Amino acid sequence: MFDSLADKLQATLADVRGRGTLTEDDINAAMREIRLALLEADVNFKVVKSFTGAVKERALGADIIGQLNPGQQVVKIVSDELTALMGGAARELSFSPRPPTVVLMAGLQGSGKTTATAKLARYLREQHSSSVAVAACDVYRPAAVDQLVKVGAQAGAAVYEQGTDRNPVDIARWALDRAKQEGKDVLIVDTSGRLHVDRELMAELAEIRQAIKPTDVLLVVDAMTGQDAVNVAEQFGAVVDFDGVVMTKLDGDARGGAALSVKAITGKPIMFASTGEKLDQFERFHPDRMSQRILGMGDVMTLIEKAQGSYDEQQAAELERKLRKSEFGLDDFLDQMRQIRRLGPLQSLLGMIPGLGKELRGVKLDEREFDRLQAIILSMTPAERRHPELIKGSRRLRIARGSGTNVQAVKQLIKQFDQMRKVMRQVSQGRMPDLGAMMRQGGR
């Protein structure tokens, strides 16, 4: 269902490769694919129109001889233009020189405001060591205050609430006073969800804004929103003039074209991405990564960052030394596995690797397989781990019993390990095997 646009463009323009030049027809065919892909990604159709116009112009004028192949060329143009449209680098909240910094959260019902409020509180506490308070101004939805009390506490924020009998404007004002008294760095004000066409509630939101004069107003937008995202953003913009957007539910498989539309139409940056139900699944939004997602090209940057975050340089140097001297044993293999697992669930890691998305779509990885491998290795003696070639008949049986697996599993592990060691030796000696070709063969 989700063939990536990058793949489609490559296929559409594959036969052009030999000719070396793009005709108007080629480009029109490519534009049709781009248009369809962007619409499938829920990019607003007006934005799609101006976007394909811009891409076409650049593609027609581009000198493609002697460069990348035409397909890649167009993919690159699309990627560049998408990134330009998304607004380049990530943007942070502004902090008030006189605390508390006040952040007002607004959005439609069900977009995820309360969760985003708690996540932002946790984020600011962790990243900026701020002391954070959250104010519960959603007095309409049943139990919304209870929800914020619970998640706010989990986030380590002070929760300011006055039940549901008071006017939200008064609660917001009271919360601001209290945040000042208690010397909080940041106050995040949660509001109830409201429709952008609901005059009464929108007026109330404007009143809250007026009363507390927030440093930043954040609009919370569901990443799965369709064409309507633009209406919502325009209307909220007109009433509360928000400064940035929090995209929620980005952990689903929505392409998130709404992000592109909102940015393109309102010019307001997407600041944060919410990517899961846990409070720490919240990060700065990276526009360039979003354009890769819309193109279906994976998210290499996030993967690299994750890897860097959990990788120890000394360990890496040690590993390289072992590889060169062929001392890489099963213990080291186990270490590697554990490091990879620290990065997160395998399934989500694979999704970030460009090109792999398609080949491995639908492949379910059994995380327990790791536990089995680990059990097998831990059932070996240190000598066996360093020199797996020692493992023959009776040792194999002992290991299988010790790990609760069977002889075949032990055999297979050792075989795989041997192969891996060969490949790694090649890599460490500077002979890079063609991984791309290996993967393509595996996938077809």
Mode of pairing for the β-strands spanning 132-137 and 158-160: parallel
CB of 395 to another protein, least distance (A): 37
Nearer to another protein, 226 or 402 (CB): 226
Dist. CA 164–CA 144, nearest whole Å? 9
Dist. CA 146–CA 105, nearest whole Å? 17
Dist. CA 214–CA 176, nearest whole Å? 10
Nearer to another protein, 48 or 175 (CB): 48
| Rg of the chain over all Cα atoms, to the nearest angstrom | 27
Nearer to another protein, 61 or 362 (CB): 362
CB of 252 to another protein, least distance (A): 4
Nearer to another protein, 229 or 303 (CB): 229
Nearer to another protein, 111 or 291 (CB): 111
Nearer to another protein, 126 or 251 (CB): 251
Dist. CA 246–CA 107, nearest whole Å? 10
Q: How far is CA 33 from CA 9, 258, 356, in A?
A: 7, 19, 21
Dist. CA 60–CA 70, nearest whole Å? 11
CB of 107 to another protein, least distance (A): 10
Dist. CA 55–CA 65, nearest whole Å? 18
User: What is the distance in angstroms between the CA of the first residue and the CA of the last residue of the chain?
Assistant: 17
Nearer to another protein, 212 or 232 (CB): 232
Helix (H) or strand (E) holding 220: strand 216-222
Q: Which residues bind another protein (CB under 8 A)?
A: 1, 36, 39-42, 45, 108-112, 140-144, 146-147, 149-151, 195-197, 222, 224-229, 231-232, 249, 251-255, 257-258, 277, 347, 364
CB of 216 to another protein, least distance (A): 23
CB of 235 to another protein, least distance (A): 8
CB of 274 to another protein, least distance (A): 11
What single string gives the DSSP state of each residue in 227-253? TTHHHHHHHHHHHH---EEEEE-TTSS
Dist. CA 412–CA 418, nearest whole Å? 10
CB of 85 to another protein, least distance (A): 18
Nearest alpha-carbon partner for 56 in 37, 30, 79, 76? 30
Nearer to another protein, 93 or 201 (CB): 201
Nearer to another protein, 70 or 107 (CB): 107
By three-state DSSP, how is residue 284 classified?
strand
At 379, give phi and psi (nearest 5°): -85, 0
CB of 313 to another protein, least distance (A): 34
CA count, 13 A, side-chain hemisphere, 301? 10
CB of 269 to another protein, least distance (A): 21
Distance of CA 115 to the CA centre of its chain: 17
CB of 40 to another protein, least distance (A): 5
Nearer to another protein, 215 or 275 (CB): 275
Nearest alpha-carbon partner for 190 in 133, 231, 240? 133
